[in-house]
């Protein structure tokens, strides 16, 4: 149980285009999902917290208009990188909290999406 999927697993796009990444909780409901960014050989940095049915909460320094987050259902959150530039190239990872599980403090992570912007 507690599986989180991401799609696509990798994407290459041209500079200036927009890319949408999906994060799904497959066997549980997640009222809260998190989006992280990880540069090579570095740690995960939280970008935003996504709450179902409400606006996302962005971390300081993360551009809301560039990284659009939608959490329309209890099993799906999407991150759209708008007008992507080469510096947006990174590994994007989502996670979800299963509030019904005993370990409610545990976040389950997706496999990540590698974005390369040419």
Partner 1 sequence: SQQGEEDPQALSIQEGENATMNCSYKTSINNLQWYRQNSGRGLVHLILIRSNEREKHSGRLRVTLDTSKKSSSLLITASRAADTASYFCATKENTGFQKLVFGTGTRLLVSP
Parallel/antiparallel/unpaired status of strands 90-97 and 113-117: antiparallel
CB of residue 72 vs partner 1: minimum separation in angstroms? Answer: 20
H or E segment at 14? none
Position 56 contacts partner 1 (CB under 8 A)? no
Q: Minimal distance in Å, beta carbon 46 to partner 1? A: 5
Interface with partner 1 (CB under 8 A), residue from 63, 111, 116, 118: 111
Any contact of residue 106 with partner 1 (CB under 8 A)? Answer: yes
What's the length of the chain? 118
In the list 8, 83, 103, 116, the residue contacting partner 1 (rule: CB under 8 A) is 103
Nearest to 56 by CA among 82, 96, 64: 64
């Amino acid at each position: 149980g507690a599986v989180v999927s991401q799609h696509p697993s990798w994407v290459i796009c041209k500079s200036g285009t927009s890319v949408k990444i999906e994060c799904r909780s497959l066997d549980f409901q997640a009222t809260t999902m998190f989006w992280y960014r990880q540069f090579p050989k570095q740690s995960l940095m939280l970008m935003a917290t996504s709450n179902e049915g409400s606006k996302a909460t962005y971390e300081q320094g993360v551009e809301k208009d560039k990284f659009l987050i939608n959490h329309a259902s209890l099993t799906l959150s999407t991150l759209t990188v708008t007008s992507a530039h080469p510096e947006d190239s990174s590994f994007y990872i989502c996670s979800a909290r299963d509030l019904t599980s005993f370990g409610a403090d545990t976040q389950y992570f997706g496999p990540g999406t590698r974005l390369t912007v040419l």
